[in-house]
A = this chain, B = another copy of it.
Amino acid sequence: MNYCSHCGSARLVLKVPAGDCLPRYVCEDCHTIYYQNPKIVTGCIPEWEDKILLCKRAIEPRYGLWTLPAGFMENKETLEQAAKRETWEEAKANVNQLSLYTVFSLPHISQVYIMFRASLGDLTFAPGYESLEVQLFTQDEIPWENLAFPVIHRTLTYYFQDRAKGEFSLHLEQIVPA
């Protein structure tokens, strides 16, 4: 951040505003304070019989690796709307019966991942703009060595553990780099 986006001043300083505890960018001219906060990534584990739907990424980071359909929640939407929208955008799949499954804090990248289990409405799916391929996988077929992110690995590990136990429970935890 080099310039105040409100008044255009270059007199931005990093300082702790009065009554605050953390340094923020503050404009010395118009006194605007800039807060930076974690972003929510949300998406689905789309289920069809004993399979789940994964997307092969067509974008960086992790081009060519497999992931669950998920992305940044947008302003003015609910978590479920965002998860369904991302599933549509990346996999051209319609899901329903969303059930909250994971709430993972990733403090090193200031993200919170909130993932839902969801039912695929039918077998209509196709790569969206950010995907090279979209494919259903049984547990044995999951490309464990070619998953895009540790958080996806963790999510799928819990998923198949829970499924084997016959009971899905909410997972709340912190994911840190290995």
Within 8 A of B (CB), among A1-40: 1-8, 10, 19, 21-22, 34-40
- Give complex CA distance A172, B102 in Å: 13
Within 8 A of B (CB), among A106-126: 107-108, 110, 112, 114
Mark interface residues in A72-84 (1 if CB within 8 Å of B CB, else 0).
1111111111000
- Give complex CA distance A60, B81 in Å: 30
**What's the minimum C-beta distance from A80 to chain B, rounded to whole angstroms?**
8
CB-based contact B103/A38 at 8 Å: no
Copies in the complex: 2
CB-based contact A19/B129 at 8 Å: yes
- Indicate whether A100 reaches chain B with its CB closer than 8 angstroms: yes
Q: A3-B7, A3-B8, A5-B2 known; A36 and B75 CB under 8 Å?
A: yes
A38's partner among B19, B35, B74, B172 (CB-CB below 8 A) is B74
- Give complex CA distance A174, B1 in Å: 34
Closest residue of B by beta carbon distance from A78:
B105
**What's the minimum C-beta distance from A30 to chain B, rounded to whole angstroms?**
10
**What's the minimum C-beta distance from A86 to chain B, rounded to whole angstroms?**
11
A75's partner among B7, B80, B110 (CB-CB below 8 A) is B110
**What's the minimum C-beta distance from A170 to chain B, rounded to whole angstroms?**
6
**What's the minimum C-beta distance from A75 to chain B, rounded to whole angstroms?**
4
A-B contact pairs, 9 of them (CB 8 A): A1-B6, A2-B7, A3-B5, A4-B5, A38-B77, A40-B112, A76-B110, A78-B174, A80-B174
Residues of A bordering B, CB below 8 Å: 1-8, 10, 19, 21-22, 34-40, 72-81, 89, 100, 103, 105, 107-108, 110, 112, 114, 129-130, 170, 172, 174
